[in-house]
């Protein structure tokens, strides 16, 4: 791996692409186990610079409030309430313009590396309305009115950041506009991380209760994220992350994550222990923070929380939620360290309490037991390896029909042509099917791909995440964004012929469930087949079959 050039895979990419599909997948998975994605070191440096810019711009916005913003005295003002409020608003703005999660090369977003703001503000781009057919907001293509709503949302967020003081009524326009944007386009709602920042915005409407409300939001995020890892999926996520991490470049460690590299790539005992320890930690430190009362338990909880998020951030997971993790650490120190006295148990605003019960309890509970009905983000099932996903199969050159769409980003191989030759492009993209297959849920593709495309060698495999990033302007691991609704929107504009585009849609495993639901659809003919796959079967299967 070089500073600007990706690590070459241990096979000739131009020979590899002509092999039978199963052979290609096996070689790519074996390469991922020791190389990960193989991104250049310079890419990680750019992400670190982005984190510094994220913090620096927050300080700049804080400088509009008297006594705040001086980096040299940051420890003296960073725990002021207005500083935290601006951190939430700035983090929301950072995400909703596409600078945060799922940005840059580690998510196959090469040029432009940040496309969401261009897409969301451009009339005519594809979107996913919450209710299709809803007056003014229910179409599949963005209107001038909807682009203006997005512009207004950004404007009011900037207005908050540039204001010296913040009052509860000042947050109301942002809350209303976020709700309207959610009706217009589910993608924007999720990109804003509404389950986190949006919920805290609502808390800010209650001047005397927002600290307790924000504590409840933060505890729910940690708690549900821990609960979501109580499945057999998480150990494979640990394996994939460790093999890809620039912080663990040691071949001996990466191979020990698997039972017997290179022939058995199921999680080893070490990987399972790491997964169990991570789950216990993520469930444990929120309890210490919730009931520590500012004493030794609080400080222990804060130390464990800091170590937990530092470990995640240092591994640069593929979704690269780096700034989000930075914000969560700051939020934990602010809410449970400096303001430990504002316990969430003392929340005395009935309307806010009712709202939080819905978004922090009812919706995540529903999403864990009925995952097909709720986004994994709103369910707070973060990085558990148990996500909905899809694979889009384009026969021959049929992918060129996507050029009929109005979009800010191009076909990913074309983006890469700006930087690399053909062999390096094929080598990089060869790792993407491996990333999916190495997760437990991805092993369902062994039986589903032949059902969708018996002659697999005639099709180009494209992960649904790449399709969403190009067609919707944003993606972050939520397969609901690139399932049947998106396929229907794409077909209405591109007109694929029967057999030209086939899709495999796989749903998450319900909490304490034993199976995962799937669908296979043709762009022209609709759903062709559906069924379920037992997770126990996948546990015994290699990524390539």
Contact in structure between 450 and 456 (CB atoms under 8 Å) = yes
> What is each CA distance from 218 to 95, 168, 391, 531, in whole angstroms?
18, 20, 33, 37
- Residue range 427-452, pLDDT digits in tens: 999 999 999 999 999 999 999 999 99
* Residue 119 counted as domain residue: no
- Predicted local confidence at residue 297, as pLDDT: 94
Domain-embedded: residue 199:
no
533 and 516 Cβ atoms separated by less than 8 Å: yes
Q: Could you identify the residue written with the tokens 């092993």?
A: 443
Spatial separation of the C-alpha atoms in residues 231 and 366, rounded to whole Å = 17
pLDDT bracket for residue 41 (50, 70, 90): confident
Tell whether 144 is covered by a domain: no
Residue 425 within any structural domain of the chain: yes
What's the chain's average pLDDT? 94
Q: pLDDT tens across 475-504, in order?
A: 998 999 999 999 999 999 999 999 999 999
Q: How many Å apart are CA 522 and CA 499, to the nearest integer? A: 7
Q: What's the half-sphere exposure (Cβ side, CA atoms, 13 Å) at 114? A: 12
Backbone φ, ψ for residue 449 (5° rounding): -60, -45
The boundaries of the domain holding residue 507 are: 389-539
Confidence of residue 342 (pLDDT cuts 50, 70, 90): confident
In a domain? residue 400? yes
Average pLDDT for residues 40-61, to the nearest whole number?
94
How far apart are alpha carbons 398 and 502 in whole angstroms?
11
Band the pLDDT of 2: cuts 50, 70, 90.
Answer: low
CA dihedral 405, 406, 408, 412 (to 10 degrees): 10
Summarised one tens digit per residue, pLDDT across range 249-271 is 899 999 999 999 999 999 999 99
> Would residue 242 count as lying in a domain?
no
Please, is 402 exposed, middle or buried when counting C-beta atoms within 10 Å of its C-beta (0-12, 13-18, 19+)?
Answer: buried
User: Does residue 486 lie within any of the structural domains?
Assistant: yes
Number of domains in the chain: 1
Judge whether 510 lies within some domain.
yes
> Could you give the CA distance from residue 320 to residue 439 in angstroms, rounded to a whole number?
17
| Region 302-320 average pLDDT | 91
């Amino acid at each position: 791996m070089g500073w600007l050039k990706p690590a070459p895979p241990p096979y000739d990419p131009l020979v590899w692409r002509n092999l039978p599909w199963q052979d290609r997948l096996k070689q790519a998975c074996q390469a991922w186990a020791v190389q990960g994605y193989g991104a250049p070191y310079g890419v990680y440096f750019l992400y670190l610079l982005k984190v510094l810019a994220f913090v620096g711009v927050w300080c700049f916005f804080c400088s509009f409030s008297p006594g705040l913003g001086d980096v040299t005295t940051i420890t003296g003002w960073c725990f002021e309430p207005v500083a935290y409020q601006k951190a939430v608003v700035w983090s929301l703005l950072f995400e909703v313009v596409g600078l945060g999660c799922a940005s840059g090369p580690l998510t196959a977003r090469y040029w432009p590396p940040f496309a969401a703001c261009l897409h969301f503000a451009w009339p005519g781009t594809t979107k996913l309305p919450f209710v299709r057919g809803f007056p003014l907001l229910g179409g599949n293509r963005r209107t001038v009115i909807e682009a203006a709503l997005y512009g207004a949302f950004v404007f009011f967020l900037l207005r908050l950041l540039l204001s010296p003081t913040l009052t509860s009524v000042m947050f109301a326009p942002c809350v209303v506009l976020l709700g309207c944007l959610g009706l217009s386009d589910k993608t924007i709602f999720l990109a804003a991380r509404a389950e986190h920042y949006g919920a805290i915005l609502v808390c800010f409407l209650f001047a005397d209760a927002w600290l307790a409300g924000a504590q409840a939001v933060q505890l729910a995020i940690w708690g549900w994220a821990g609960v979501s890892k109580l499945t057999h999926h998480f150990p494979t996520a640990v394996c994939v992350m460790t093999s890809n991490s620039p912080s663990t470049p040691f071949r001996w460690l990466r191979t020990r994550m698997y039972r017997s590299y290179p022939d058995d790539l199921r999680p080893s005992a070490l990987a399972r222990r790491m997964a169990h320890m991570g789950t216990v930690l993520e469930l444990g430190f929120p309890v210490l923070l919730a009931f520590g009362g500012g004493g030794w338990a609080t400080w222990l909880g804060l130390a464990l929380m800091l170590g937990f998020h530092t470990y995640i951030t240092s591994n640069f997971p593929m979704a690269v939620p780096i700034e989000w993790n930075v914000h969560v650490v700051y939020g934990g120190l602010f809410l449970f360290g400096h303001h430990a006295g504002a316990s969430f148990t003392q929340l005395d605003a009935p309307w806010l309490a009712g709202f939080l019960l819905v978004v922090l309890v009812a919706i995540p509970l529903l999403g864990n037991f009925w995952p097909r009905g709720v986004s994994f983000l709103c369910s707070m099932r973060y990085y558990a390896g148990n996500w909905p996903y899809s694979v889009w199969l384009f026969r021959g050159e049929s992918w060129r029909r996507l050029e009929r769409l109005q979009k800010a980003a191009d076909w990913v191989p074309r983006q890469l042509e700006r930087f690399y030759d053909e062999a390096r492009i094929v080598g990089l993209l060869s790792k993407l099917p491996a990333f999916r297959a190495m997760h437990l849920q991805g092993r369902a593709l062994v039986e589903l791909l032949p059902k969708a495309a018996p002659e697999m060698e005639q099709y180009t495999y494209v992960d649904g995440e790449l399709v969403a990033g190009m067609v919707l302007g944003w993606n972050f691991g939520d397969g609901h964004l690139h399932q049947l609704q998106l396929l229907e929107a794409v077909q209405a504009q591109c007109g694929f012929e029967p057999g030209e585009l086939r899709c495999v849609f796989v749903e998450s495993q319900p909490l304490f469930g034993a199976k995962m639901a799937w669908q296979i659809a043709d762009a022209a003919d609709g759903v062709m087949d559906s069924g379920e796959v037992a997770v126990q079967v996948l546990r015994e299967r290699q990524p390539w079959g």
